[in-house]
Chain A
Amino acid sequence: MATDARIVETKSAPPPGVTSRTRAFRRFTKNRGALFGTGVLACIVLFTTLGPLLARHAPNTPDYDHGMGPFGTPLGPSAVHWLGTDTIFRDLFARLAHGGRLSLTIALSATLVAMSIGVGVGVVSGFYQGTRVRVDRLAEGLGGAGLMLAGIVAPFSSTAGPRALGFAVYLGLFALLVRVLAAVPRILAYARKLPSGFDRADLVDAMLFVAAVLTLFRRAAERLGDVRFVGVAAAVLVATSLARRKLDSKSGPRQPTLDVDDVFMRAVDVLLAFPFLLLLMAIAASVEHTDAATLVLLLGATSWTWIARIVRGKTLQVRSLDYVTAARALGRGTPGILLRHVVPAIGGLAAVLATQLVAGMIVAEAALSFLGLSVPPPTASWGRMLEEGRTYYAIAPWLVATPAIVIFLAVLALNLVGEGLRDVLDAPSSTSGRGA
């Protein structure tokens, strides 16, 4: 059966001189499912961009004159309210359009966040597999990254920012702890009068750690989110790192090291053992007021793990290809190889994953709304409309049906486009069948 497909393929092969890009485009346009998906997607995007302009009502204002039924019930579709009104007589069309704008914006931004982290981690993990780093350096990096991330998050989100800062403090403390533990072999060697390389650097570590535990940890609970407090933790970490670099000696017992790839993939394992929805709920509950920016960060920060896994696999494959070895032999440096060879090779895969991820994000946002953890009322999002309409399906089934149909269509369209892209970009295997 696979051979049949191959014969068909060679028959319909385009004339020489046609670039692979146009060939891919032609294959994509031949896939009816993907075309349908693209059409639906275009309609949805058009609706969310133009809909709010077309709507003749504000999304959050009740209309008691034309939107209320005889018994105070919501009204079905009419000339005044194209899709009818909801339980407090707001125009459904306007809410659907405005809500769609919000839902899609959140989904796209969160996808961007998740893809950045996922592709970044995946590429580094795959490309540097086999490279070992010292545990203490790693902990420093982790603590530093946490503090940096908190610094980025803080200005964007008024509620997630302080929380992230609080977590960064814990990370910083963890880094200090690992640093000191890593110094233990030297201290032991020193005690047994062996050549230890034990020097002032280890004393710096030990003293700083004791000081940190005594002062910082005790106050951590009350001080979570205090910017000055994070500043102190960051300063401590940076200062000790610098002091350490300067004082570090080459002799003494070998420091414990870990494989970069192992570190990242075990971290992914742990994150994957977190039940996704529970994790989302826990964090959403912990920030109390979820604004759109918080949601984006939340969704992005929790859903990159499987992206990283897949990208890592592909990167491992690419790394061992002949042309990468050749580029290295010709003297191209690591950044050059990453940019010129690895990134283009995983580009197609990333596009496919991103399409699937957008669909997943729309669903996740809706699920959070459904549990009452998304943007607060009266703001409309597709998920919130679904949740609000659900309890009234006996008297006004269109309230729940409209957002449900839109969410379903959006996810279906993204799935179709994703499959079309996969067939075209990511070298179709014999398992991919006929797409849709």
Chain B
Amino acid sequence: MKRALDAAAFLARRAFGALVVVYLVVTATFFLNRSLPSDPARMIAGEQARPADVARIRTQLGLDRPVGVQYLAFLGRLVHFGPSHFEREKTPDHATCGHLGPLHFDLGRSYQQRKPVLVILGDRLPYTAALAFSATALAVTLGVVSGVLAALRRNTAVDATLVGLALLGVSAPTFLLGVAIQYLFAFQLELFPLNGAGKGLLDAARHLVLPTLTLGIFGAAFYTRLVRSEMIETLSADYVRTARAKGLSTLRVVVVHALRNVLVPLVTVVGLDLGALLGGAVLTEQIFSWPGVGALAVRAMRDRDGPVIMGTVLVSAIAIVALNLVVDFVYTFLDPRIRRARN
């Protein structure tokens, strides 16, 4: 009972810290956004618009108010209370809101697409999540298998090959690897579609293969190196020798005893990477025109679409901070020493 309470208190403390971080990121982004040199009203009205029209649009968007007032208004709208049941079209006050019961969230309306930012993000998130999870799954599987193999066959040709491949992978940033993969598999061999996301679930899965491969190989290279070095260290530990001396098979020693220890550092890195990917894999999504949050961010930056920029940054920040929190919590389950140290 006490342990559960301790764990809850720990989680609450960390969650509060996470909220503060998200708030600071949002604030910084807001002011960064407000210092953009281009005038959103001018961009909506067009180059040839009359000054009066530009001024009218500026007033409509509330951009003529002092920055401090705009900031407070933005924060007030971001999270506020409202009716639990409402229809977007009929309630102009909550036309751009998303809600959890009476708790409303509002990021405003995109300057360019004229749709609520939350709706746009909602359309994009499934694609980004699909890419993030499939790429992470591939990277972890490949990384753990080759890392363990390299560690077990240390200083042999197998090890040298795997370590060499991992080094090559680490040195090829995703935009090089992505373009190469696109050229080879989509253009030359025509095995998979060049870009886009297709129509329907099955087609989307086919389109997902190459972006997944790009991010997966890049991640696998990192994880291979990590797992190999951690594994080598673990295999020379006393308790592994004991397990071997007991007559356990290599498979059992590796999977049951050694791998569990390797998991702690691996979970940290994988968790943080997953957080970054959930915020949108900007370059990979851009190469393969995958309609995720990252590609949306690039477009919003080009269009100087302030509300959408805020939305994408918020999604990324929340993803990173949330995964940080998850990693922190998973630790305590994986490593009893950390649990004891905390209590």
Query: Which residues of A are at the interface with B, using a C-beta cutoff of 8 A?
Result: 1-2, 33, 163, 166-167, 170, 213, 217-218, 220-221, 224, 269-270, 272-275, 277-278, 281-283, 285-288, 359, 363, 366-367, 370-373, 386, 390, 393-394, 397, 400, 404, 407-408, 411-412, 415-416, 430-434, 436
User: Are A221 and B66 in touch, CB under 8 angstroms?
Assistant: yes
Q: Which chain A residues lie closer than 8 Å to B36 at the CB level?
A: 285-286
A/B pair count, beta carbons within 8 Å = 144
Query: For residue A277, which residue of chain B has the nearest CB?
Result: B282
B144: Cβ under 8 A from any A Cβ: no
User: Are A404 and B180 in touch, CB under 8 angstroms?
Assistant: yes
Query: For residue B70, which residue of chain A has the nearest CB?
Result: A221
User: Are B187 and A393 in touch, CB under 8 angstroms?
Assistant: yes
Q: Which chain B residues lie closer than 8 Å to A272 at the CB level?
A: 320
Q: Which chain B residues lie closer than 8 Å to A412 at the CB level?
A: 167-168, 171
Q: Which chain B residues lie closer than 8 Å to A411 at the CB level?
A: 171-173
C-alpha spacing A217/B298, complex, angstroms: 31
User: Are A363 and B173 in touch, CB under 8 angstroms?
Assistant: yes
User: Are B179 and A371 in touch, CB under 8 angstroms?
Assistant: no
Q: Which chain B residues lie closer than 8 Å to A288 at the CB level?
A: 37-38
B134 to chain A, nearest CB (A): 20
Q: Which chain A residues lie closer than 8 Å to B269 at the CB level?
A: none
Q: Which chain A residues lie closer than 8 Å to B33 at the CB level?
A: 282
User: Are B172 and A408 in touch, CB under 8 angstroms?
Assistant: yes
C-alpha spacing A163/B38, complex, angstroms: 13
Q: Which of B123-131, B231-239, B249-257 contacts A (4 or more CB under 8 A)?
A: B231-239
C-alpha spacing A120/B276, complex, angstroms: 27
Known contacts A283-B32, A434-B155; decide if A408 and B171 are in contact (CB<8 Å): yes
Query: For residue A416, which residue of chain B has the nearest CB?
Result: B167
User: Are A285 and B304 in touch, CB under 8 angstroms?
Assistant: yes
B107: Cβ under 8 A from any A Cβ: no
Query: For residue A404, which residue of chain B has the nearest CB?
Result: B176
A11 to chain B, nearest CB (A): 17
User: Are B21 and A269 in touch, CB under 8 angstroms?
Assistant: yes
User: Are A415 and B232 in touch, CB under 8 angstroms?
Assistant: no
C-alpha spacing A412/B324, complex, angstroms: 30
Query: For residue B234, which residue of chain A has the nearest CB?
Result: A431
C-alpha spacing A411/B218, complex, angstroms: 14
B73 to chain A, nearest CB (A): 14
Q: Which chain B residues lie closer than 8 Å to A400 at the CB level?
A: 179, 183
B197: Cβ under 8 A from any A Cβ: no
Q: Which chain B residues lie closer than 8 Å to A370 at the CB level?
A: 175, 283, 286
User: Are B175 and A386 in touch, CB under 8 angstroms?
Assistant: yes
User: Are B179 and A393 in touch, CB under 8 angstroms?
Assistant: yes
Q: Which chain A residues lie closer than 8 Å to B280 at the CB level?
A: 275, 278
Known contacts A217-B68, A278-B297, A370-B283; decide if A433 and B228 are in contact (CB<8 Å): yes
Q: Which of B48-56, B98-106, B308-316 contacts A (4 or more CB under 8 A)?
A: B308-316
User: Are B236 and A278 in touch, CB under 8 angstroms?
Assistant: no
User: Are A367 and B316 in touch, CB under 8 angstroms?
Assistant: no
B312 to chain A, nearest CB (A): 7
Of B32, B180, B276, most A-chain CB atoms within 10 Å? B32
User: Are B32 and A436 in touch, CB under 8 angstroms?
Assistant: no
Contact with A along B7-46 (1 / 0, CB 8 A): 0000000000000011011001101111111100000000
Query: For residue A419, which residue of chain B has the nearest CB?
Result: B167
User: Are B167 and A415 in touch, CB under 8 angstroms?
Assistant: yes
User: Are A273 and B25 in touch, CB under 8 angstroms?
Assistant: yes
A410 to chain B, nearest CB (A): 9
B137: Cβ under 8 A from any A Cβ: no
- Shortest beta-carbon contacts, A-B, top 6: A275-B316, A412-B171, A431-B229, A285-B301, A411-B171, A363-B173
B270: Cβ under 8 A from any A Cβ: no
The size of the chain B interface, using a CB distance under 8 A, is: 59
User: Are B282 and A371 in touch, CB under 8 angstroms?
Assistant: yes
B279: Cβ under 8 A from any A Cβ: yes
C-alpha spacing A412/B25, complex, angstroms: 34
C-alpha spacing A432/B25, complex, angstroms: 36
Q: Which chain A residues lie closer than 8 Å to B172 at the CB level?
A: 408, 411
Q: Which chain A residues lie closer than 8 Å to B168 at the CB level?
A: 412
Q: Which chain A residues lie closer than 8 Å to B183 at the CB level?
A: 393, 397, 400
**CB<8 Å pairs between A and B, sample of 19:** A1-B154, A163-B35, A218-B68, A221-B66, A273-B317, A274-B313, A275-B276, A277-B282, A281-B282, A371-B286, A371-B301, A393-B187, A407-B176, A411-B173, A412-B171, A415-B167, A433-B154, A433-B163, A433-B229
B109 to chain A, nearest CB (A): 20
B164: Cβ under 8 A from any A Cβ: yes
* Residue from A285, A397, A430 in contact with B232 in the complex, judged by beta carbons closer than 8 Å: A430
User: Are A404 and B21 in touch, CB under 8 angstroms?
Assistant: no
Interface residues of B in 118-176 (CB under 8 A from A): 154-155, 163-164, 167-168, 170-173, 175-176
Known contacts A1-B235, A412-B171; decide if A278 and B316 are in contact (CB<8 Å): yes
Q: Which chain B residues lie closer than 8 Å to A434 at the CB level?
A: 155, 163
* Residue from A218, A278, A285, A397 in contact with B312 in the complex, judged by beta carbons closer than 8 Å: A278
Q: Which chain B residues lie closer than 8 Å to A269 at the CB level?
A: 21
C-alpha spacing A394/B22, complex, angstroms: 44
User: Are B236 and A430 in touch, CB under 8 angstroms?
Assistant: yes
Q: Which chain B residues lie closer than 8 Å to A270 at the CB level?
A: 21, 24-25, 28
Q: Which chain A residues lie closer than 8 Å to B302 at the CB level?
A: 285, 372
Q: Which chain B residues lie closer than 8 Å to A415 at the CB level?
A: 167, 170-171
Of A275, A370, A411, most B-chain CB atoms within 10 Å? A275
